Structure 1
Amino acid sequence: MVDNTLEEIMIYCTQCGKKNDNDATFCNYCGAQLEKINTHQKSRKLTSMALCVTLLLLIIFAIITTIFHIKGSGIQFDWSSETPNGQSINIVESDKQHDTKDTKK
């Protein structure tokens, strides 16, 4: 059961942003119609939005990290295609690191 005494109902004008009396229907400053906003529900929406943004950023980070890991691991990618005259073209991407041991005899 929700305790409604802890929730504060505040009325702010969506046009001018001024705070009005809780029982006001129209803004005392600009005359615009007022809507009651439950601050607890608004806070919950912001928390949900922050969670979604955080999860999206983590997914993007994981994808980028995976791409860099694959590129740095020396895994080869082989794309083959054939030209209209029947010649085969192979494009191979591989790790460019070389062994730098001294080979003096």
Structure 2
Amino acid sequence: MDQTFINTINRNKFDNQEFKNGFRAGAEYKDQMEKRIRDLESVLLEFIGYGDEWLLTKAGLNKRTKSVLVDMIIDQRNLARTLYNKLDEDTKKKLKSEIEMCVWPGDKE
């Protein structure tokens, strides 16, 4: 009986520690997701031209990690591509021509 009681106490301690570990991991994941949502909001607000207060400054960009900056660039590319794909064919051709003129200015027609 004493051994059963000791085993029960040890099991409860183990379960308690596992719960704390799981709770901490969940809290860290929640914080990461909230930061990711703020970063995506910032990308969208920058993209729609919400004013200079939404633009990340050089100092703000320097504070970000490389992986966060890469995620931001990929998000911006995906957003631009999605919007481009929603354009009608004539607008796409005109935009493509204007961009090509900026990239290869010697090839103006």
TM-score category, normalised to shorter length: 0.3 to 0.5
The structure having more radius of gyration, on CA atoms, is 1
TM-score after normalising by structure 1: 0.40
Structure showing greater relative contact order (alpha-carbon pairs closer than 8 Å, 6 or more residues apart) = 2
User: Counting helix residues as a fraction of each chain, which structure ranks higher?
Assistant: 2
Q: Which has the higher strand share?
A: 1
